[in-house]
Structure 1
Amino acid sequence: MNVGSGSSSGEPEVMAEMNTTPLIDVMLVLLIMLIITIPVQLHSIETDNPVGNPPPPLTEPVVHKVDIDEAGVVYVDGTVVTGKDALENIFRQYAADANQPEVHVKPRKGTPYRAVATVMAAAQRTGVTKFGLVE
């Protein structure tokens, strides 16, 4: 506790520190006002979903299996397809059908990515929309 300044004059010394308590009080009040004025955020999206179960399909979908072996050879329904043009012709026939068949591509474990990408690109170019990779 500082009782006196030790100087002979009777004037008090000038304080060099700033009193931060009022500043902190004002900042807390402003923070509380900001929190209160922020609107409540709702993380939901309004959608118009159909009611009930969808009707079952009238016919079973036709499935064509495309296998790719480790050497990059493509088999469509068990027959070897040589060349990118032959594969695209087969995919064009599939895309031209009114009820487009499903194409299931099953690459083997050691198949190079280039062969799989070639088949996927051919399906995209020809307009095959029911396409999937299976195990």
Structure 2
Amino acid sequence: MSMSGGTDDGEPMMEMNTTPLIDVMLVLLIMFIITIPVATHAVNIDLPAPQPPTNVPPPKHDKNKVSITPSNEITWNNTVITDGQLVSLLQETLKIKPEPELQFQPDPSAPYDTAAKVLNIIKGSGVSAFGFVGNEQFASFGKAADAPPAKQ
């Protein structure tokens, strides 16, 4: 059997064995690849410090309150009104800039039908600043704290 360039005559081979050299070179190449930092495509920019806006609109202090009494009456800021008056008052408030907040607070014992009717009128009017008031009174409704004490 003969190697490339050599003969099988018993003389020593005069070519250098490059296998260990290639192994060392591959190990060094892997070490260099591992130690090179990952290239990032980030661009560092110095941004200005944020400042609060100067043109903030004043808070809305005007509020109107729509309530429903247990006797099935609709009130606007504690004044009894009809359905038609409610519609006209809502249209007037839409003309005010900024629009005053409309608060809705039905009495817990007020009829549900009236509350639903008033909510439909408010929804149909296009009022955008709207909120429910007094929901905290129903927070503990149905909990064990409301139950009568047990007899011993």
Q: State the superposition RMSD in angstroms.
A: 2.0
Aligned residue number for residue 124 of structure 2: 125
My pick for the range that moved more, 89-98 or 52-61, is 52-61
Aligned residue number for residue 16 of structure 2: none
1:29-80 Cα offsets, whole Å, 9 max, x none, are xxxxxxxxxxxxxxxxxxxxxx776776424431111111112201101111
Query: What are the residue-to-residue correspondences of 1:1-135 with 2, within 5 Å?
Result: 57-82=57-82, 84-135=83-134
Q: Provide closer, same or farther for how the CA distance between residues 57 and 109 of structure 1 changes in structure 2, counting only shifts above 3 A.
A: same
The AA in structure 1 aligned to 2:64 is: H
Offset of residue 98 of structure 1:
2.0
Q: Provide closer, same or farther for how the CA distance between residues 134 and 59 of structure 1 changes in structure 2, counting only shifts above 3 A.
A: closer
Relative to the length of structure 1, the TM-score reads 0.55
8 Å contact 1:91–1:122 — kept in the other structure? Answer: no
Q: Provide closer, same or farther for how the CA distance between residues 123 and 53 of structure 1 changes in structure 2, counting only shifts above 3 A.
A: farther
The AA in structure 1 aligned to 2:79 is: T
Q: Provide closer, same or farther for how the CA distance between residues 53 and 79 of structure 1 changes in structure 2, counting only shifts above 3 A.
A: same
The AA in structure 1 aligned to 2:78 is: G
The AA in structure 2 aligned to 1:63 is: K
What number of residue pairs does the alignment pair up?
84
2:65 is paired with a residue whose SS is strand
Separation in 2, partners of 1:117, 1:54: 40
8 Å contact 2:69–2:110 — kept in the other structure? Answer: yes
Separation in 1, partners of 2:53, 2:72: 40
Structure 2 unaligned regions, length at least 5: 1-49, 135-152
My pick for the range that moved more, 56-65 or 98-107, is 56-65
2:90 is paired with a residue whose SS is helix
- Percentage of pairs with the same residue: 25
2:97 is paired with a residue whose SS is coil
Q: Provide closer, same or farther for how the CA distance between residues 78 and 117 of structure 1 changes in structure 2, counting only shifts above 3 A.
A: same
8 Å contact 2:67–2:74 — kept in the other structure? Answer: yes
Structure 1 unaligned regions, length at least 5: 1-50
The AA in structure 1 aligned to 2:58 is: L
